[in-house]
Amino acid sequence: RGSDPERRSRRVRVGGMVDVLAATSADVHAVLSQRASGPLSGRREQVARTLREFVDANEGARASPNLRDERRDELGGITSLLTDADLPGDQDLALLALKTLKILSRKEDNRRRFGRELCRAVVRLALTHPRASHAVTAEGANVVLNACYEKENVEYVLECGGVEPLVRRVADTGETLRCRSAAAGAVQSVCFQAPGRCRVRDCDGVAALVALMKELDRASVPRDGVAGQFNDDERSMCRARVVGALHNVSADDDAIRLIRACDGVPHLVRALGSDDDGVCGSAAGATQNVSRERASRALFRRGGAVEALTKLLARGCDPATQARAAGALLNILGPDLDDGHSKSGEKARADEGDDASDRGSTGDSSKENDTKTNSRGSNEDAPTALSGSRSSGSGRVPAEGSERRALGRLLSSAMALTAVWDGLFETTPTFDPKVSA
């Protein structure tokens, strides 16, 4: 048994326990490296069986033995398989190969060693090949989602034309929700880099993301599965990825105008009230970015963003979300403080019609690559001091100008909090296996 490489025992240590049945990445590489006449020559079943064992043992990121194994994974074998000219004709094996690469791409070292050839192979096999199935396309998008945590891989995906097919999948209402969600997640990762944001913007990616967000809000997304069953977890993941992608792309000034033009502002306001901390955190970041534009600020004010943001602050979310919410409030309300309550209606309407971005407004530079969290926020009622009422809470009429001074102090604190947060956390996002593909 020990001398037969096809049947040798495979050991993976998981939390002190040893699973002698699970295939390791070393097993995968060994099988794929046996290429007398090519990686698939006469050994299709052996290759498929080994890949299936590896995928079954590592499909869930939280319990993946491979993710916890600190030994370096060899990528040569899987690269040879993915570049094999016969692979597109075997969609079942192609799916297993992409699942394997998705699992391997959860490790930073593996992502850094992807290279141009492997990125091109994934795009060609899963995103541009006419034979690619919905499942293969979704897994290819998941690979891109993970790989593009690294700046170099974003450049490779842009070079080989991978962004345009991703945007088409996001926009395609005939695709499965799983495929559109994976594509949105890949777009989210690509948009962390400025060249990626520009490419997504230029190929109508902003309109596609806003349209999908509207579909999710209307609950009219086509159902997955033969029986038409809808997976609420997948829908929540899709929403988190779409809002996260809008957060990232909204760092671009032209994308801000497109979000407004596509009527995305009301849907960002709605996302601020999400029970999912990941969604409302991304929505707060997008709101902070988009509200740098004067015309968008007017839409946010009319759409109830001030109330939603104050509730978000009172909810006690993580510091990043609170900093984004505070920065958004500073953008939406701060410019009005200079004129106090005496600003004329004509001047206010003129400002609302101006679609120029304010250079003094705060933007959220800590863009999101996390796709979803499982924590839930509380539903505490927010303070009503910013709702427009003149009550001080004690029954006494506040002194003239006191509300303005109090709001000024609040927004000054918000500005300080946002500045400190941006200064401390302007870094490349850390890959989180709990929320990525």
Least confident range from 118-122, 235-239, 261-265: namely 235-239
Q: Which residue has the higher pLDDT, 392 or 135?
A: 135
Give CA–CA dist 48/28, Å, rounded.
10
Q: Which pLDDT score, from 0 to 100, does residue 226 have?
A: 37
Q: Which amino acid is at 350?
A: A
Token representation of residue 229 = 């069953």
At 144-159, the pLDDT tens digits run 999 999 999 999 999 9
User: For position 375, what pLDDT does the model report?
Assistant: 34
What is the model's pLDDT at position 317? Answer: 75
| Band of pLDDT at residue 19, cut at 50, 70 and 90 | low
Say what the pLDDT of residue 79 is.
95
Residue with more model confidence, 121 or 221: 121
Q: Would you list the DSSP string of 49-81?
A: HHHHHHHHHHSSGGG-HHHH--SPPP-HHHHHH
Q: Alpha-carbon distance 306 to 280, whole Å?
A: 14
* pLDDT score of 406: 61
Element (H, E) at 153: helix 151-159
Output phi, psi for 246, to 5 deg.
Answer: -65, -35
pLDDT higher than 90, residue 35: no
* pLDDT at residue number 414: 60
Q: Among 139-143, 222-226, 233-237, 409-413, which stretch is predicted with the lowest mean pLDDT?
A: 222-226
Reference 364, options 411, 409, 321, 398; nearest CA is 321
Contact residues for 45 (Cβ-Cβ < 8 A; gap 6+): none
User: What's the mean per-residue pLDDT of the chain?
Assistant: 80
Question: Cβ atoms within 10 A of the Cβ of 347, count?
Answer: 11
Report the pLDDT averaged over residues 227-256: 87
Better-scored residue on pLDDT, 402 or 377: 402
3-state secondary structure string, 319-358? HHHHHHHHHHHHHHHHHHHCCHHHCCHHHHHHHHCCCCEC
pTM score above 0.75: yes
Are 283 and 248 in contact, with CB atoms under 8 Å apart?
Answer: no
Q: Residue 245: which of 202, 201, 185 has the closest Cα?
A: 185
Helix (H) or strand (E) holding 212: helix 205-218
Nearest 5°: phi and psi at 133? -80, 170
Tell me what pLDDT residue 239 has.
Answer: 95
CA-to-CA dists, residue 330 to 120, 199, 345, 387, 403, angstroms? 43, 30, 21, 15, 15
Cα 272 from Cα 193, distance rounded (Å): 24
pLDDT recorded at residue 419? 57
Integer Cα distance of 82 and 78 in angstroms: 6
pLDDT per position as a tens digit, 145-204: 999 999 999 999 999 999 999 999 999 999 999 999 999 999 999 999 999 999 999 999
